[in-house]
């Protein structure tokens, strides 16, 4: 017998595990497989509804008693760099950007390990070996790019971002950089440069992943003007950080069945 993939994507929920952003919380994710000829359509559609890609999976937070995580993106048209961000652009003007297909290299992995060991030694990715890294970069069923930033004076790779190209923007899937030059603010610089890349390409948004009120790890995202958050089924302009709460409320999260029912799916035929 010949079997084919179901036309409508199937959604699942992960088992609860400790939240990496807010102490004492448990996280849970709603996810679906990203595969087949319609992968681009599904990724474009769900990214606009707060989902993120990890290899061939699309996921969105679906914690049982917490709804603090909010998908964030920058409106390219509304963005205006702050004075501090202008200085960051100037400090890194010597870096050379190169975009290539999603292919992992030894130089990338060396920088990745250096970054993890210095910044996230106890994080969930700390045990990733070269094969795990290659899978993270290369296992993509959609249009993805690896964007490298090299210092021509040192002839050394300084920063890398795995970036998805959506129909309405760029999604910064994962970025890492040299931890030895903190004054260069390379993480901020890569976001600023992605705004410029999107502007040059005529794409309206840069997707940053999740912003979490009360999480110091995610605080840097609120420093970008033109920021929008996905809340209550739509995107809204970011207000002041203290306008949002990470408090737990028993009614803060809709039931799983209701969440899935409210997901808008594209026509995946043909």
Domain residue extents for the chain:
73-229
pTM value is 0.93
Under DSSP, is residue 198 helix (H, G, I), strand (E, B) or coil?
Answer: helix
Residue 240 has pLDDT above 50, yes or no: yes
More confidently predicted of 166 and 9 = 166
Q: Give percent of the chain with pLDDT exceeding 70.
A: 94
Q: Grade residue 30 by pLDDT with cuts at 50, 70 and 90.
A: very high
Residue 261 has pLDDT above 80, yes or no: yes
Q: What is the pLDDT of residues 156-205, one digit of tens each?
A: 999 999 999 999 999 999 999 999 999 999 999 999 999 999 999 999 99
Residue 217 has pLDDT above 90, yes or no: no
**Whole-number CA gyration radius for the chain:** 19
What letters, b where the CB count within 10 A reaches 16 and e where it falls short, cover 194-215?
A: bbebbeeeebebbbbbbbbbbb
Tell me, which fold does domain 73-229 have in CATH? Answer: Aminopeptidase (3.40.630)
CA-CA distance, 149 to 140, in Å (whole number)? 21
In terms of DSSP H, where are the helices of the chain?
39-47, 83-91, 106-119, 130-138, 186-201, 256-261
Token couple for 121: 């030694």
């Amino acid at each position: 017998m010949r079997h084919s993939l179901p036309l409508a994507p199937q959604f699942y929920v992960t088992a609860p595990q400790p939240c990496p952003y807010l102490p004492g919380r448990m996280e849970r994710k709603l996810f679906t497989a990203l595969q087949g000829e319609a992968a681009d359509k599904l990724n474009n559609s769900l990214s606009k509804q707060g989902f993120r890609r990890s290899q061939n999976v699309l996921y969105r937070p679906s914690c049982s008693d917490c709804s603090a995580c909010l998908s964030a993106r920058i409106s390219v048209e509304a963005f205006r760099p702050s004075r501090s961000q202008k200085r960051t652009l100037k400090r890194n003007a010597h870096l050379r950007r190169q975009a290539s297909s999603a292919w992992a290299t030894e130089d990338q992995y060396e920088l990745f390990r250096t970054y993890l060991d210095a910044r996230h030694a106890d994080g969930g990715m700390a045990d990733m070996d070269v094969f795990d890294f290659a899978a993270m970069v290369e296992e993509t069923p959609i249009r993805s790019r690896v964007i490298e930033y090299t210092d021509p004076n040192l002839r050394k790779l300084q920063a890398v971002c795995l970036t998805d190209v959506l129909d309405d923007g760029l999604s910064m899937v994962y970025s890492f950089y040299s931890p030895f030059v903190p004054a260069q603010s390379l993480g901020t610089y890569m976001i600023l440069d992605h705004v410029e890349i999107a502007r040059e390409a005529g794409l309206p948004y840069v997707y940053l992943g999740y912003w979490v009120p009360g999480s110091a790890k995610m605080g840097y995202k609120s420093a970008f003007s033109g920021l929008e958050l996905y809340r209550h089924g739509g995107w809204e302009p970011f207000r002041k950080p203290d306008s949002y709460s990470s408090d737990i409320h028993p009614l803060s999260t809709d039931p799983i069945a209701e969440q899935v029912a409210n997901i808008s799916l594209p026509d995946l035929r043909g």
